[in-house]
Structures are given as structure tokens and as C-alpha cells.
Structure 1
Amino acid sequence: MKIRKQLPISALIAASALISTQAMAEVFVAPFGGYSFGASDFSITDEKTDELGSLKISESNHYGFMAGVTTKDPGDIYFLYSHQGTELRSGGSFSPNVITDLNVDYFHLGGSLYFPNGNLKPYVTASLGLTQMRPGDNYSTESRFSMGFGAGIEYQMTEAFSLFADARGYATFVNSSSALFCDGGDCLWSISSDIMWQGQANLGVKLKF
């Protein structure tokens, strides 16, 4: 008889814990905009002339959004998309001019950990995913694995609305034995860089549902 009484109680406790956990999780969207800066150079060799030089992604504005769920840590888990419309420039022993327009997109899954202090919530964040570089003028699209990390602060205006600002760094891993930005099967450069670094400064709003 005791076992029969304990089973329903145990099931009720488990169900209550599950409902409580689900109630604490909130879905959110967070559009943002900002400035991308400090992209490191690609050290390159011209495939036709063996001339040494470099390629660099120009600094410019970007925009994007995050979508995810909050956790009870407190923190969140999110998908991040960031888009930058910029230019690919040559440097080094090449003339420092614009080679082509370039779109740089980040597709990342990440998480943040918050340290609440009243309405202010400083946080750290990390993410993993892909960097996609899409040049114009028939050059090939390049997709590479990348990691992101950053820190920021969120100000809670209401239960459902907050403002945030953060700084993020992205490390895109480039295979140093590969060619880059081929044009119709003719690869223009081989690269000797392993990682491309890029920084972002962001401002945005966060809406919870």
C-alpha cells in the first residue's frame, strides 16, 4: 500500500519539476547592428606570378539577429546570424585596391552566461559555426569553420524588453594549404594563413515571449 501511495507522489513531483523548468525558459529574438573591424590579413601567393602579397576584408557596418531560449543558470542558448557587406582589398606588394565586393556571413550556435546585478546583467558568451565569404565577380564562395567569443551588458527595461551592447571576436579557420577565391576553376591565390580574426561591436534589443 505504501508503494502505491509513493508512485503517484513521485510522478507528481517529477511533473511539477518539468513544468517549472519549462515555465522558466523563455523564447527570445534579438536584432542587432554594429561595426565589424580588425579583420586580419590573408598572406597570399599569386598562382601565376608567385608574387607575395595580402588580402584584407575592409571594415564596415553589419547587422543580424539572435533567436533562442533562456536558461535558469541564468543564461541563454541561441542561433546567431550576422551579415556584413564589405570589400576585399589587396595589399602588400600588390597595389592596395578593391578587388571585389564581399559579403561575410556568420552562422553560429552559442550560449551566454549572465551575472545579474539588479536591472544590469553583464554576460560572457561563446559560439561555434560557419563563416561564409561570398565575393562578387564570379569568384567562388568560401565557407570555413569558426568560433566566436565575447562579453557585454544587458539592461532590463521590462520583463519582456531589454537593451544590450557587446563586443565579439571571431576566429575563422582557414586551411593554409588551400587556394582561395577561385574564378571559373582558375584559382587566383594560394594562402599561408591559418586563422582570420575579426572583431564586432554591437548594439541591439531583446524581446522575450
Structure 2
Amino acid sequence: MKKVILFSVLMLLSLSWGYAQAVEITPTYGYQFGSKLNYGPNYIKLDDSGMFGISLGYEIRSNYMLEVTYINMSTELRIRDRIASPSESRLSDLNADWFMLGGTRYFGNDKVRPFFGGQIGFSVFSPDNVDRDIAPRGLDSVTKFSFGLKGGVVVMFTERVGLNLQGNLLFPVEWGGFYVGAGTGGVSSGVNVGSTIVMGGFSGGLVFRLGT
């Protein structure tokens, strides 16, 4: 549902803006590093994975872009817990969707444009294929307020088509809240893990520039 909503927003913005100002569409693919949450001697971690995304930017004035961005990564959630899983084990698959609104400042000339930007929005973490021996109650999806930073360079091949290369940092605030307990005798125990984490990565993609 959230993907449908985002797609609708992108289409409405495109139709309303038309070509009076420059509009940039940037599909990207890259690599996202995982992260780890420690609780005492135990931890939960997200594995590294591929990621893809798409951004729609509207030039509000020269060298300043207002952007809507969607990013997806599909990874694996792993755990080491002295009660539930003394050695590191797979806990579940995990799909992460990021829906972000932000701004980007460009520098340089018409051909080579370094940039830096910031974003705010929300992220949705959806576990799947949960190991019920470790998490007998399963894992629920969680939605968290998030923000991000990015920096990189755009190299324009023509006035309309270019190459985007960038690094990013994503911050889901107080990500977690997964019940990961296990026990014996029909009694389960566990912890709710929550913390602010940082996820870094890099990506590349084509830039399609429309309008003036």
C-alpha cells in the first residue's frame, strides 16, 4: 500500500509541475552495509545487501532540488542471544522500505555537479520467514521515523542524461522492538531491542533531466 501511495504522489507531482522548471528522475542501484544492535553480550544484526531506489527532484531554484525518494533493501536478520540462540543464527528475512522527502544542494558547472543533501521520512521493516524456534511469537513489522544524509557527484553526458554516483547514511530512529525470546516449559522470555542505528551505502544510476 505504501508503495502505491508513493507512486501516486510521484505521478501527481510530475503532472502538476509539468516542465516549467527542471525535473530530474534518478533510478539507482547499489550496496547497503548492514548494522548491529547490541544488548548486553548479545546482538541482532542486519546483513549487507543490495539496494535499489528512485528519486524525483524538482528544481526550486538554481542548484537547489526538492526531492521525493523511495529506497528498498532486502536482507537477512541474524541474532546471537545467550538464551534464544547462543551462536549466531538466522532469525528471519527482512524487507526494508524507505520513504523520504528532502533537499539537495548542487555545486560545480553544468557538466560535473558535486552535491550534498538531507532527507526526513519513515522506514518500514517487515520480517518474513521467521525462525519460530528462536522467536516463537513471530516478528511484527515496525515503522520508524527516519532521516538521512547523502553526498556525491552527477556527471552530465548531455543536457538531458547523466550519471549519478553517491554515498548515503540512513538513520532509522529507535529501530527495533522485535520480541526475540525463547524459553522452556511453555514459558517464553525475551527482550525488546531498540536503538538508533546508522546504515551506510553507495549507489549509482542514470539521471534523466526534463524541462528547462
What is the TM-score normalised by the length of structure 1?
0.76
Question: Residues 88 and 187 (structure 1 numbering): CA distance in 2 closer, same or farther, change over 3 Å?
Answer: farther
Structure 1 unaligned segments of length 5 or more: list them: 1-21, 46-51
Query: Which one of 120, 123, 131 corresponds to residue 112 of structure 2?
Result: 120
Q: How do 1:150-169 and structure 2 match up within 5 A? A: 150-169=150-169
Name the structure 1 match of 2:199.
Answer: 198
C-alpha displacement of 1:44:
3.7
- Partner Cα distance (1:111, 1:151) in 2: 12
Name the structure 2 match of 1:48.
Answer: none
Letter in 2 for 1:148: G
Contact 1:24 1:72 in 2 (8 A): no
Is the radius of gyration larger for structure 1 or structure 2? 1
Name the structure 2 match of 1:11.
Answer: none
Letter in 1 for 2:197: M
Q: Which moved more, 1:119-128 or 1:88-97?
A: 88-97
What is the TM-score normalised by the length of structure 2?
0.75
C-alpha displacement of 1:70:
1.6
Name the structure 1 match of 2:67.
Answer: 78
Query: Which one of 97, 100, 103 corresponds to residue 105 of structure 1?
Result: 97
Letter in 2 for 1:40: S
Name the structure 1 match of 2:52.
Answer: 63
Question: Residues 65 and 188 (structure 1 numbering): CA distance in 2 closer, same or farther, change over 3 Å?
Answer: farther
SS in 2 for 1:205: strand
2:178 equivalent to 1:180? yes
Contact 1:132 1:143 in 2 (8 A): yes
- Partner Cα distance (1:173, 1:187) in 2: 25
Query: Which one of 30, 41, 53 corresponds to residue 42 of structure 2?
Result: 53
1:37-81 alpha-carbon deviations (Å, 9 max, x no partner): 1x3322347xxxxxx511000001011100121232312111111
Contact 2:180 2:192 in 1 (8 A): no
Letter in 2 for 1:134: S
1:122-152 alpha-carbon deviations (Å, 9 max, x no partner): 0001000111110013520011111100110
C-alpha displacement of 1:182:
7.3
SS in 2 for 1:159: coil
Question: Residues 140 and 162 (structure 1 numbering): CA distance in 2 closer, same or farther, change over 3 Å?
Answer: same
Name the structure 1 match of 2:124.
Answer: 132
C-alpha displacement of 1:29:
1.2
Contact 2:108 2:114 in 1 (8 A): yes
Q: Which moved more, 1:100-109 or 1:115-124?
A: 115-124
RMSD: 2.5
Contact 1:180 1:187 in 2 (8 A): no
Aligned residues: 177
Question: Residues 27 and 129 (structure 1 numbering): CA distance in 2 closer, same or farther, change over 3 Å?
Answer: same
Letter in 1 for 2:151: A
Structure 2 unaligned segments of length 5 or more: list them: 1-17, 131-137, 182-187
Q: Which moved more, 1:116-125 or 1:67-76?
A: 67-76
Contact 2:22 2:209 in 1 (8 A): yes
